[in-house]
Chain A
């Protein structure tokens, strides 16, 4: 049965663009039970060798992070390459990089949900998980950058023995609120979406330990329609709340720069430019995770080529917005006739860190252009490589913005170059270790695909005499379309 399904799946191409027929989102002739089996199998099977190897590598890098953190806390932030005037460097680059990656998850869950983009259901769960783990990595850096991380609670308005309060007119404090709210809401979103799927794992598990653990986290979910009613309403409300939130987070991050006087930072284009960059980087990370995941976990019929192609289109669109923002920055520097601003941008493109700038241009502007071609968008290797470049490019974008502007400000007497130390590089590598350790644990023990949501976009999920069924083409996606033959063939079920 399973082998037949996979062999059929190979022949189906659901990336066609026939406006008369909605492409199926689940392939391989799967029914509800097949979807459950395919997804739960990943969490239920014995630990695979590949997972163990990947986990060992991640733990190794996590260990590097631990060592670097220990050294930093015991010694002080002098172990970094930061100096005066480059007081923000790898720490803030890494922070902005990881927060940016964290945007795709909520964008897929919330914005695409509000736009009724049904294809999101296959990838939203692990994009949300990716968001949370990325925000964990992001939160680490400002917390240790304060110098004495054990006093990081001073960032919050907590009554203290000094009778002082934080300074609410500072964008850095806005950042504290924006990132902590974002982390909380993303976690809630991820968790409530997972409750029905945790109940599935609870009901399938045979070991008492799993029954208890999954049972506790499933909160006694029974799939009651009266519960689903409130659940769906809560999910819709969370989406509506998370949509402006996701736009606000990177806007607030960009305020950290835009409200300063520094040439290269002091610009009104930053909020939309940062948000587009965040979505670009986030989708790149989704693709870098999804393409191997569908391969290793046997999810090719659920995360189909069409899903990958759609993500590639988002990558191209946001890549173009980012490219446009780069061009606008240079235009403004020239047209604004401010010599400091003009110098800052000449210095970016041809100064000490020009190599970083051109890496950024190649990765973020030139590489995504390949995705104009359908052949490239449906070639998994090409998409993976472009996404990989986008991740590198987005890290360098933050490096270029932060470091080139700080090294060369108004007074040549205060100019200074920047060079990362081994601890800086170790922490960057280590943050990937933290991210992948968390992500691999998630893949091992939790439902990586939102099964309940995937089932709702399958044609069998829609009652034929429902009062709202007529006129809602969205809810009967491919009823009379046989993707194998590509013609109208009624499917009797």
Chain B
């Protein structure tokens, strides 16, 4: 997302003294903390109704039904996994055909050089392997993880997101975002705390 800007040293040509330039910090998001599932659920409904587009709910566990409230569209992950599974199936069969029926033919116990039933177990395993790898790494890629730096981690309160607190975060790049209005809205919704996330 955004990168950390290190304080820069600027060489001032006139007085020959090194000045430290002020850190380039700007507000990037407004974060509201809630202490129950019901509260954050109501907040999510309201934020969506207000027409915000770039916002998110952070919670220690998946909240049942929040996707519908937030308008999260179904992920394409299942299709990627299906594709990978089919690739694994075709690849597994092709591998066995190439190895035993084409490149290095040899007769074992009078069995046919190429017969599909003997190749099913390995084809099944390669199908599952490709599909499973895609499910995991596809999920991480679609979520843009790993992302080890995140401005949200600067907030001490946000540490409870993996424990027992729920957060609604609105990005300042959202076309609807006006700080005073958003703050007032969060206050109305009964936020435990409201914090400006700067970066």
Q: Are A234 and B161 in contact (CB under 8 A)?
A: no
Given known A245-B128, A466-B64, contact A220–B69 (CB-CB < 8 A): no
B147 interface residue per 8 A CB criterion? yes
Q: Are B122 and A177 in contact (CB under 8 A)?
A: yes
Of the candidates B100, B104, B128, the one whose C-beta lies within 8 Å of that of A244 is: B128
Q: Are B63 and A165 in contact (CB under 8 A)?
A: no
Q: Are B121 and A255 in contact (CB under 8 A)?
A: yes
Interface flags, A20-46, vs B, CB<8A=1, else 0:
000000000001110010000000000
Interface-located stretch among A95-103, A130-138, A184-192: A184-192
Q: Tell me which of B59, B69, B152 has the highest count of chain A C-beta atoms within 10 A of its own C-beta.
A: B59
- The distance in angstroms between the C-alpha atoms of A115 and B136, with both chains bound, is 21
Contact residues of B between 69 and 121, Cβ < 8 Å to A:
69-70, 72, 75, 77-78, 81, 85, 95-96, 99-100, 103-104, 106, 108, 111, 115, 118-119, 121
Interface-located stretch among A198-206, A360-368, A385-393, A413-421: A198-206
A375 interface residue per 8 A CB criterion? no
Closest Cβ neighbor of B66 among chain A residues: A225
Q: Are B100 and A248 in contact (CB under 8 A)?
A: no
A60 interface residue per 8 A CB criterion? no
A149 interface residue per 8 A CB criterion? no
A485 interface residue per 8 A CB criterion? no
Q: Are B125 and A203 in contact (CB under 8 A)?
A: no
- The distance in angstroms between the C-alpha atoms of A177 and B78, with both chains bound, is 24
Q: Are A215 and B148 in contact (CB under 8 A)?
A: yes
Q: Are A203 and B145 in contact (CB under 8 A)?
A: no
B4 interface residue per 8 A CB criterion? no
Contacts of B68 in A (CB 8 A): 467-468
Interface flags, A123-150, vs B, CB<8A=1, else 0:
0000000000000000000000000000
Given known A168-B118, A230-B75, A463-B37, contact A32–B60 (CB-CB < 8 A): yes
Q: Are B58 and A223 in contact (CB under 8 A)?
A: yes
B159 interface residue per 8 A CB criterion? yes
Contacts of A116 in B (CB 8 A): none
Given known A168-B100, A169-B108, A203-B159, contact A453–B61 (CB-CB < 8 A): yes
Q: Are B135 and A168 in contact (CB under 8 A)?
A: no
- The distance in angstroms between the C-alpha atoms of A192 and B149, with both chains bound, is 19
Contacts of B62 in A (CB 8 A): 225, 228-229, 231-232, 452, 456
A93 interface residue per 8 A CB criterion? no
Interface-located stretch among A235-243, A300-308, A430-438: A235-243
Interface size class, chain A: 35 or more
Contacts of A456 in B (CB 8 A): 61-62, 64
B131 interface residue per 8 A CB criterion? yes
- The distance in angstroms between the C-alpha atoms of A173 and B100, with both chains bound, is 13
B27 interface residue per 8 A CB criterion? no
B36 interface residue per 8 A CB criterion? yes
Of the candidates A157, A177, A191, A237, the one whose C-beta lies within 8 Å of that of B131 is: A237
Contact residues of A between 457 and 477, Cβ < 8 Å to B:
460-469, 475
Q: Are A165 and B100 in contact (CB under 8 A)?
A: yes
Contacts of A228 in B (CB 8 A): 59, 61-63, 66
Q: Are A241 and B61 in contact (CB under 8 A)?
A: no
Interface flags, B139-164, vs A, CB<8A=1, else 0:
11011011111101100001111111
Contacts of B60 in A (CB 8 A): 32, 36, 196, 200, 223, 451-452, 455
Of the candidates A174, A204, A225, the one whose C-beta lies within 8 Å of that of B70 is: A225
- The distance in angstroms between the C-alpha atoms of A135 and B157, with both chains bound, is 41
Of the candidates A163, A255, A453, the one whose C-beta lies within 8 Å of that of B104 is: A163
- The distance in angstroms between the C-alpha atoms of A169 and B118, with both chains bound, is 5
Closest Cβ neighbor of A215 among chain B residues: B148
Q: Are A223 and B135 in contact (CB under 8 A)?
A: no
Interface size class, chain B: 35 or more
A338 interface residue per 8 A CB criterion? no
Dominant SS among interface residues on chain B? helix
Dominant SS among interface residues on chain A? helix
B194 interface residue per 8 A CB criterion? no
A320 interface residue per 8 A CB criterion? no
Nearest-Cβ distance from residue A2 to partner chain B, whole angstroms: 16
Contacts of B85 in A (CB 8 A): 241
Given known A168-B100, A233-B78, contact A467–B61 (CB-CB < 8 A): no
Q: Tell me which of A177, A203, A227, A234 has the highest count of chain B C-beta atoms within 10 A of its own C-beta.
A: A234
Closest Cβ neighbor of B95 among chain A residues: A157
- The distance in angstroms between the C-alpha atoms of A468 and B139, with both chains bound, is 25
Given known A230-B142, A452-B61, contact A248–B161 (CB-CB < 8 A): no
Q: Are A221 and B145 in contact (CB under 8 A)?
A: yes
Contacts of A215 in B (CB 8 A): 148
- The distance in angstroms between the C-alpha atoms of A44 and B150, with both chains bound, is 25
Closest Cβ neighbor of B113 among chain A residues: A169
Given known A223-B162, A233-B139, A469-B65, contact A157–B132 (CB-CB < 8 A): no
Contacts of A468 in B (CB 8 A): 64-65, 68
Of the candidates A33, A191, A231, the one whose C-beta lies within 8 Å of that of B163 is: A33
Q: Are B99 and A200 in contact (CB under 8 A)?
A: no
Q: Are B41 and A465 in contact (CB under 8 A)?
A: yes
Nearest-Cβ distance from residue A461 to partner chain B, whole angstroms: 6
- The distance in angstroms between the C-alpha atoms of A171 and B117, with both chains bound, is 12
Contacts of B158 in A (CB 8 A): 222
Given contacts A169-B111, A241-B132, A455-B61, 10 further A-B contacts (CB under 8 A): A192-B139, A200-B60, A204-B163, A225-B66, A230-B139, A237-B77, A241-B128, A248-B125, A460-B36, A463-B65
Per CB-CB distance, the 6 closest pairs between chain A and chain B, nearest first, are A466-B65, A165-B99, A32-B164, A234-B139, A219-B146, A463-B41
- Chain A interface residues toward B at CB < 8 A: 31-33, 36, 157, 163-171, 173-174, 177-178, 181, 184-185, 188, 191-192, 196, 199-200, 202-204, 215-216, 219-234, 237-238, 241-242, 244-245, 248, 252, 255, 451-453, 455-456, 460-469, 475
- Chain B interface residues toward A at CB < 8 A: 36-38, 41-42, 56-70, 72, 75, 77-78, 81, 85, 95-96, 99-100, 103-104, 106, 108, 111, 115, 118-119, 121-122, 124-126, 128-129, 131-133, 135-136, 138-140, 142-143, 145-150, 152-153, 158-164
